[in-house]
Structure 1
Amino acid sequence: MENTKLPMVETQMMIRKPVAIVFEAFIDPAVTTKFWFTKSSGKLEPGRTVTWGWEMYNVASDVRVKEIIPNEKISIEWDNTPGTTTTVDFEFTALTTDTTYVVIKNYGFHQTGDELIEAIKDNTGGFTTVLDGLKAWLEFGIELSLVRDKFPNTPQK
């Protein structure tokens, strides 16, 4: 059970596509690589651990799939901050047959003080960027390269 008193990042966006298409965009790396990471060791499946990579930054993250409820929820644990893991829930609500509301919640932060503020700020911005890229890709077929361009002063391949 989620403790709402703990620090949590929450971002959201309406996507003008059916819930099954939006849900699959997070399950299938062939789609997810169009708006988020550049490489994955496989599709998300309950109990499976996959590795997501951002090749331009030479960074990878192990992702353990905790739960999948088709077209409703994906829950993962990942090590996006070295030495710590957090939980990310992707929640999908069909508003109409052609629109989906996506909410991303990230919680379980281990940092305190200024480090916690920085982690919340970074993850809020990161997941907002993911949703912006998702919207552009699914609604308009445009790959905006938002994640690649977020940190242009970072050495890239």
Structure 2
Amino acid sequence: MATTESPRARASIIIRIAPKDITKALIEPDRLTQFWLASSSAPLAAGAKVHWKFMVPGAEVDTTATRLIPGRKIDWQWSDGTDVDIDLEEVDGGTAVTIVSSGFRGSRDEVVEHALTATEGFAFVLAALKDMLESGKASNIVRDKARLIELRR
């Protein structure tokens, strides 16, 4: 049976780090800029608007945390109305991190393309986060993907 629900982006991974440390990495500017962002105007805090610049030149967005439960849940809305929900669940001595993004706008084809692009992007972000937290050093996973996007524009 077909559904009329809009496509959602979804990516998940196990990171062998405590949920509270993953929360810090996803809300603190000094951590976010090690693996994902070029800059963040402030830490994420429930109800506060934060400006994020991504590693792709010209890509930036205002981000407002809608729910923040350290070690369990981080939800925000981007200025384009897209929602991002992150669930953290302790498993196998680590944390299952699941990101779901929804609320894409446009024609059916555009919405599908946005969801696919977001899924790919969040998969890279999670891989970079895992690498940074488990190895103690940042990789160039997101930076290299951003460079590829820039070259193909």
- The size of the alignment, in residue pairs, is 147
Q: Which residue of 1 aligns with 2:89?
A: 93
Q: Is the 8 A contact 2:56 2:147 kept in 1?
A: no
Q: Stretches of 4+ moved more than 6 A in 1?
A: none
Q: Does the aligned pair in 1 maintain the 2:52–2:62 contact within 8 Å?
A: yes
1:21 paired to 2:21: yes
Q: How does 1:1-157 map to 2 (within 5 A)?
A: 5-54=5-54, 56-79=56-79, 84-96=80-92, 98-153=93-148, 154=150
Q: Per the alignment, in what secondary structure is the counterpart of residue 31 of structure 1?
A: helix
Larger displacement relative to structure 2 (143-152 or 16-25): 143-152
TM-score by length of 1: 0.86
SS in 2 for 1:64: strand
Tell me the amino acid that sits aligned with residue 73 of structure 2: K
Structure with greater helix share of residues = 2
Gap runs ≥5 in structure 2: none
AA matched with 1:33? T
Deviates more, 1:24-33 or 1:110-119: 110-119
TM score, norm. by length of structure 2: 0.88
What SS is found at the alignment partner of 2:121?
helix
Structure 1 alignment gaps of length 5 or more: none
8 Å Cα contact 2:55-2:146 kept in structure 1? no
Paired with 2:113 and 2:6, the residues of 1 have a C-alpha distance of 16
1:10-59 Cα deviation digits (max 9, x unpaired): 11010011111111110111111111111000101010000011255132
Identity among equivalent positions (%) equals 32
Q: CA deviation at 1:6?
A: 3.1
Aligned partners of 2:73 and 2:88 also within 8 Å: yes
Contact 2:50 2:63 (8 Å CA) reproduced: yes
